[in-house]
Amino acid sequence: MIRLLSHWAMRTIFSLSLLVTGSVCLAQQPAPLITNVGHRSTISLNGPWHAIVDMYDVGYREYQTLKPSADSGFFRNAKQKNKSELIEYDFDKGESLNVPGDWNSQRDSLLFYEDTIWYEKSFAYHKKPNTRVFLYIGAANYISRVGVNGTVLCSHEGGFTPFDCEITSVLHDGENFAVIYVNNARRREGVPTVNTDWWNYGGLTRDVSLVEVPQNFIQDYFIQLIPGTRSQIAGWVKLSDAAAEQRVTVRIPELSIEKTFVTDKSGVADVSLSAPGLNLWSPEHPKLYSVHVESGVDKVPDEIGFRSIEVHGRDILLNGSPVFLRGVSIHEEAPYRPGRAYSEEDAKTLLGWAKDLGANFVRLAHYPHNEHMLRVADRMGLMVWSEVPVYWGIEWEDPKTLANAENQLTESITRDKNRASIVIWSVGNETPVSDARTKFLVSLIDTARKLDSTRLISAALQIHKREGTTRIIDDPLGAKLDVLGCNEYIGWYEGTIEATDSANWQTPYDKPLIMSEFGGDALSGFHADSDIRFSEEYQEKLYQHQTPMLDRISFLRGTTPWVLMDFRSPRRLLPGIQDYYNRKGLVSKQGEKKKAFFVLEKWYEQKKITP
């Protein structure tokens, strides 16, 4: 609690006096982004979209060279005016791709494709008075550009966070069309960079919709429990237009709370609520309250849980009490079918398996997952580690790469800050130690703290030093983190399984540790002696030796072994065993629980009693 409150008080945008009065330290998103889209007036554009595969970027190069008035270019969806006119593309004659969905799993010919695909969809819309319309895209991997009715309106970089652009001025009353350019080519300066251990799924991978809002609407809000309290709620509401003296009302009917606030000249109203008798959110009691934010004719409902997450020495405190985070890492891989997960049904299946394991915590690696995962985690009572794709080697000294990473972190926090399930923001995974890397990640940590001081900050580190059988977690980044994360693979990438029996762990930091990765591969259904790699018996034995070692770590406060379910990866080449899949899952893609699943389940049952 002391550490978190000191971070809270140090924010340049949040003074100690504001802490006393109850304002929450969460800066407004500098670029417009409508939040809580699922509870607003929307028109889904999901379904089949026409698609053109354009590996040489012909369409975009043509667009760049044309005059703005030219009636050609892929964004303009041009049609022949006469039989002699040369137009070398036609969306209507092309094949379709389903949205949401990655293109890799929809056609065999696109499994390994990494470049540009153009999407086009025609839709009818009838204009409404005093209504603004935004095109909202849940995620497009990786670089995307959006046009409506031939006008290019916005662009975005980053494959796992939402973005929107206002289309009110270009909409026709009747038939319209949207064209979206998506390019998933890996780039050295990108975030993530060229080398990852997951499939580079391309396309419009999450929901796409039209969002209708009033002229002056509730753009964003943050309403959470003040850290260290049990009944004081605070935050802010941001209106779309910067105007002072606008009335904003927050209601929580179940608590008989209704209070009105007034915006400042930037269109932001500070919120402070006293809530005696508040039932706090926890895995055992995932209480969500119906919260209503209203201003003028705009009314936005939400379901929000209130809980406190803090660190005191080497303990993690949930609602003031020590907690052991019984977790598992999860990739955004779809169960039972190929491709990326995106639906509420996917989320219920994946998180349901985590609950079967006895988990109260999940690490959503290595990028922000779809919003359904967070909403379902809220309802199921699963705490969440949310991560940005700063993974392995990044261009640490390139300011554009840092700006990209900071923007993705900002968009992730902007979308998910009201989700009670998120208790940790993670700024990276397995990043090699260097001065440039540490400076880069410290900048991300500072960004996260300025945006949200109600949650803890971590990163998945690697063992930095060994002395005999002792592993020492002394990464200099640890000094800046609230919670240490560490990935270790004793028995798989390092030494033998039996090496865990003598392994000890130390750290110079008086902080809690989450062992953020450990494990080994097993092909579901492959049974052999326990010394045969890739057998279920080998993976089972590895977990049987890992858990006693973990019990000996005095500062261990959680684990998220790698990984819940097998997932596709281009780095996994062994025919007949891997076949482009990382097989470290405790569950196969078809839901078959491997033998190691039950070892971890039994250990987690014990950790409920003796954390």
Cα dihedral sign, 212-218-220-223:
negative
Residue type, 476: P
Q: What is the pLDDT of residue 18?
A: 30
> Are 484 and 456 within 8 A, CB to CB?
no
pLDDT in tens, 215-224: 999 999 999 9
- How many percent of the chain have pLDDT more than 90? 89
Q: For the full predicted model, state whether its pTM sits above 0.85.
A: yes
pLDDT band at 12 (very low <50, low <70, confident <90, very high): very low
Closest-CA residue to 329 (of 438, 535, 486): 486
pLDDT in tens, 473-520: 999 999 999 999 999 999 999 999 999 999 999 999 999 999 999 999
Arch. (CATH architecture) of 2-30+216-307: Sandwich (2.60)
pLDDT band at 94 (very low <50, low <70, confident <90, very high): confident
Higher per-residue pLDDT: 1 or 33:
33
Q: What is the pLDDT of residue 234?
A: 98
> Are 523 and 593 within 8 A, CB to CB?
no
Q: What is the pLDDT of residue 64?
A: 76
> What are the C-alpha distances in Å from 545 to residues 20, 78, 118, 201?
49, 64, 50, 35
Helices (H), 381-514: 399-416, 435-451
pLDDT band at 69 (very low <50, low <70, confident <90, very high): very low
Q: What is the pLDDT of residue 7?
A: 30
Residue 27 has pLDDT above 70, yes or no: no
Q: What is the pLDDT of residue 32?
A: 63
Looking at domain 37-213, which of 1.10.1200.10, 2.60.120.260, 3.40.710.10, 2.70.150.10 is its CATH number?
Answer: 2.60.120.260
Q: What is the pLDDT of residue 229?
A: 94
User: 325-609: CATH homologous superfamily?
Assistant: Glycosidases (3.20.20.80)
Pair of tokens at residue 540: 């089972």
Q: Can you tell me the mean pLDDT for 301-328?
A: 98
Residue 20 has pLDDT above 70, yes or no: no
- Whole-angstrom distance, CA of residue 491 vs CA of residue 496: 4
Q: What is the pLDDT of residue 430?
A: 97
Q: What is the pLDDT of residue 29?
A: 34
pLDDT band at 26 (very low <50, low <70, confident <90, very high): very low
Comparing 2-16, 271-285, 325-339, 578-592, the range with the smallest average pLDDT is: 2-16
Closest-CA residue to 223 (of 316, 289, 319): 289
Give φ, ψ of 282 to 5 degrees: -155, 165
Q: Can you tell me the mean pLDDT for 123-145?
A: 97
pLDDT in tens, 224-247: 999 989 999 999 999 999 999 999
Instruction: Parse the chain into domains and list their residue ranges.
Output: 2-30+216-307, 37-213, 325-609
pLDDT in tens, 155-168: 999 999 999 999 99
Cα dihedral sign, 93-94-100-105:
positive
pLDDT band at 61 (very low <50, low <70, confident <90, very high): confident
- Whole-angstrom distance, CA of residue 258 vs CA of residue 390: 41
Q: What is the pLDDT of residue 239?
A: 97
pLDDT in tens, 384-411: 999 999 999 999 999 999 999 999 999 9
Using CB atoms within 10 Å of the CB of residue 321, give its burial: 0 to 12 exposed, 13 to 18 middle, 19+ buried: exposed
Q: Can you tell me the mean pLDDT for 176-193?
A: 98
Residue 2 has pLDDT above 80, yes or no: no
